[in-house]
Amino acid sequence: MTHSAGVAKAVAELLVEGRSRTDLHECEVARFEDVQRSEAYVSETSQQNFVEIYDILHPLQPKESPRNLRTSPFYPRQQELGAFFLESGGWERPHWYEANANLLKELPEAWQPPERDSWSARFHSPIAAAEAWKTRTAVALYDMTPLKRVEVSGPGALDLLQRLSTGQINKKPGAVTYCLLLDEAGGVRSDITVARLAAERFQAGINNNVDYEYLRREAAEQTAADSSRWVQVRDITAGTCCIGLWGPLAREVISKVSSDDFSNNTLKYFRSAQVRIAGLSVTAMRLSYVGELGWELYTTSDQGLKLWDALYEAGQEHGIIAAGRAAFNSLRLEKGYRLFGHEMTSEHRPEEAGLGFAVKADKGDFVGSAALAEAPEPTRRLRCLVVDDGRSVVMGKEPVYFDAKPAGYVTSAAFGHTIGKPIAYAWLPAEAAEGDKVEIEYFGRRIPATVSAEPLVDPGMERLRG
Ligand code: THG
């Protein structure tokens, strides 16, 4: 009822044009994870939605029930370390660890976070500053288990991924590719990573269940059309787990528990390898959403706790910590990494979102390529803003004024601990240029900010490639 006019418009567009101009991924039935499809879950969640429908909810406001539906193998350690959990897709995700509170005393002056207003201080802790500091200067463990991943396999696997993605996937085994899934109009459906583990076997890191259902449906259609090009898409998230081991000392830590070669020239940036760590079988991918040296380390769920313990113990002499989503989100914004559903959706084309580099135009046809070839020059762009006063943190979705007129909105925001200033990404007219002044409206106040070059941290990629 509350969304009736918008729903009517979207449905009319779907019927007449085959595509809604408003992104609908938050309305897709396919967005629900299996644990969210039980009768009890649907009943309780729907009743709670009714209670909250007119409430002003904090962007991080935790779901209170049902909780603890999915936990990673590291959950007992996370509890011991005093994790503050928030929920996503049924998963319990640590946002920071109370065990790191003592680091606030060691935190250098330049890293001390400013006081927050009461709204942005909710569901937040200054401990995140200490976790960001340790990640940039030592080494940290991040639980990446909730990041959805699928195995794509079969003689038609390469064809499927080449056809649906913007990337050049036809590289030798071991290669990892960052690329986009587009819709027919060239809008961004998702951004994914694809690791070629073997000639006919890939592992893709995807964003949500909508991506999974899309890949699965397309795979089934391809297989039905030509059985010699069969391809299978399997959700391996629950049976596997992932640790992000990141920071300038990550190589020291991993070398203590593995005899495999993690040197810069052997396992290069955006390459993967099958390795042993503390005797466990691990798929290592050298990439980092927080923009530091290190690897995503995947193993089966039964081995997860052993992997965590081995790395945690080996890292003690290097000051290793477990770090949570609050630090993670700040670090990825400093590095300029977009988050699907926040920075971009199907309403945006890659170039507008600053993701043109992920489109390999010369690889031949793929879903969305024809539309991109005819796309007009962008009239708006996703831009990086730095808040001038160095302390006013906004939350996301605030209006942004350019030339004194409302001209766009904030997509994600965080305090940038490395740069010592709040960051906001925002949609702005294409004519907004680096150095231009804008204002972000926050509780009736106008907060001055400056359009800035990005990324704010490590534009030369020395940390990642070092
Ligand atoms: N890890 C893995 N898969 C993922 C994510 C992840 N899939 C979903 C989501 N996160 C995808 N988002 C990103 C965003 C940026 C990068 C990786 C995943 C990234 N970008 C490099 C850059 O822009 O500098 C790409 C460099 C290149 O193209 O060579 O690393 O976190 N497994």
Q: Ligand 1 centroid vs 125 CA: distance in angstroms?
A: 26
Q: Ligand 1 centroid vs 350 CA: distance in angstroms?
A: 14
Q: Is the pLDDT reported for residue 101 higher than 90?
A: yes
Give the confidence band of 59 by pLDDT, cuts at 50, 70, 90.
very high
Provide the pLDDT for residue 22.
Answer: 94
Q: State which ligand 1 atom lies nearest to the alpha carbon of 205.
A: 3
451 in any annotated domain: yes
Q: State which ligand 1 atom lies nearest to the alpha carbon of 287.
A: 30
Q: Ligand 1 centroid vs 288 CA: distance in angstroms?
A: 7
- For residue 43, the enclosing domain spans 4-52
Q: State which ligand 1 atom lies nearest to the alpha carbon of 193.
A: 3
- Which residue has a Cα nearest atom 15 of ligand 1? 337
18 in any annotated domain: yes
Q: Is the pLDDT reported for residue 234 higher than 90?
A: yes
Q: Ligand 1 centroid vs 193 CA: distance in angstroms?
A: 6
Q: Ligand 1 centroid vs 334 CA: distance in angstroms?
A: 14
Q: Ligand 1 centroid vs 353 CA: distance in angstroms?
A: 15
Cβ(155)–Cβ(161) under 8 Å? no
Q: How many Cα atoms are found within 13 Å in the side-chain-facing hemisphere of 23? A: 20
72 in any annotated domain: no
Q: State which ligand 1 atom lies nearest to the alpha carbon of 289.
A: 31
Asked which of 33, 52, 71 is the last residue of a domain, the reply is 52
- Which residue has a Cα nearest atom 4 of ligand 1? 205
Q: Is the pLDDT reported for residue 431 higher than 90?
A: yes
Give the confidence band of 144 by pLDDT, cuts at 50, 70, 90.
very high
Q: Ligand 1 centroid vs 206 CA: distance in angstroms?
A: 10
Give the confidence band of 169 by pLDDT, cuts at 50, 70, 90.
very high
123 in any annotated domain: no
SS3 400: strand
Provide the pLDDT for residue 466.
Answer: 79
Give the confidence band of 312 by pLDDT, cuts at 50, 70, 90.
very high
Q: Ligand 1 centroid vs 251 CA: distance in angstroms?
A: 20
Q: Which pLDDT tens digit goes with each residue over 175-202?
A: 999 999 999 999 999 999 999 999 999 9
Rounded mean pLDDT of 75-82? 98
Alpha-helical segments (H) within 275-410: 304-315, 325-334, 369-373
Q: State which ligand 1 atom lies nearest to the alpha carbon of 464.
A: 24
Q: Which pLDDT tens digit goes with each residue over 243-276?
A: 999 999 999 999 999 999 999 999 999 999 999 9
Quick one: CA dihedral 118, 120, 122, 128, positive or negative? Answer: negative
Closest CA to 57 of 48, 44, 69: 48
Provide the pLDDT for residue 167.
Answer: 98
- Count structural domains, the chain: 2
- Which residue has a Cα nearest atom 3 of ligand 1? 205
**What is the helix (H) or strand (E) element at residue 176, kind and residue range?**
strand 176-182
Cβ(150)–Cβ(206) under 8 Å? yes
Give the confidence band of 444 by pLDDT, cuts at 50, 70, 90.
very high
Q: Cα-flanking dihedrals φ and ψ of residue 399, to 5°?
A: -70, 150
Rounded mean pLDDT of 278-306? 98
Q: Is the pLDDT reported for residue 453 higher than 80?
A: yes
What is the Cα–Cα distance from 294 to 277, expressed in whole angstroms?
14
Q: State which ligand 1 atom lies nearest to the alpha carbon of 335.
A: 24
303 in any annotated domain: no
What is the Cα–Cα distance from 341 to 27, expressed in whole angstroms?
12
Give the confidence band of 3 by pLDDT, cuts at 50, 70, 90.
confident
Q: State which ligand 1 atom lies nearest to the alpha carbon of 296.
A: 32
Q: Is the pLDDT reported for residue 1 higher than 90?
A: no
CATH number of the domain to which 447 belongs: 2.40.30.110
What is the Cα–Cα distance from 307 to 298, expressed in whole angstroms?
9
What is the Cα–Cα distance from 102 to 321, expressed in whole angstroms?
12
Cβ(246)–Cβ(321) under 8 Å? no
What is the Cα–Cα distance from 110 to 93, expressed in whole angstroms?
28
Q: Is the pLDDT reported for residue 285 higher than 90?
A: yes
Rounded mean pLDDT of 324-343? 98
Closest CA to 449 of 401, 415, 411: 401
Give the confidence band of 211 by pLDDT, cuts at 50, 70, 90.
very high
Closest CA to 132 of 292, 307, 274, 360: 292
What is the Cα–Cα distance from 131 to 325, expressed in whole angstroms?
10
Q: Is the pLDDT reported for residue 2 higher than 90?
A: no
What is the Cα–Cα distance from 288 to 196, expressed in whole angstroms?
17
Mean pLDDT, all residues of the chain: 97
287 in any annotated domain: no
Q: What is the model's pTM?
A: 0.97
SS3 308: helix
* DSSP-derived secondary structure for 190-232: EEEEEEEEETTEEEEE-SSHHHHHHHHHHHHHHHHH-GGG--E
Q: State which ligand 1 atom lies nearest to the alpha carbon of 358.
A: 28
Give the confidence band of 430 by pLDDT, cuts at 50, 70, 90.
very high
358 in any annotated domain: no
Quick one: CA dihedral 210, 157, 205, 167, positive or negative? Answer: negative
Closest CA to 180 of 343, 384, 404, 42: 343
What is the Cα–Cα distance from 228 to 222, expressed in whole angstroms?
10
SS3 51: helix
- Which residue has a Cα nearest atom 2 of ligand 1? 205
103 in any annotated domain: no
Provide the pLDDT for residue 411.
Answer: 98
Q: Which residues line ligand 1 (CB under 6 A)?
A: 147, 178, 191-193, 205-207, 270, 287, 289, 296, 337
Longest CA pairwise span in the chain (Å): 63
Percent of the chain past pLDDT 90, that is, above it, reads 98
- From 337, 338, 360, 425, mutation site for ligand 1 pocket: most ligand atoms within 8 A of C-beta: 337
Cβ(400)–Cβ(439) under 8 Å? yes
Query: C-alpha angle with apex 358: 373 to 397, nearest 5 degrees?
Result: 95
- Which residue has a Cα nearest atom 28 of ligand 1? 178
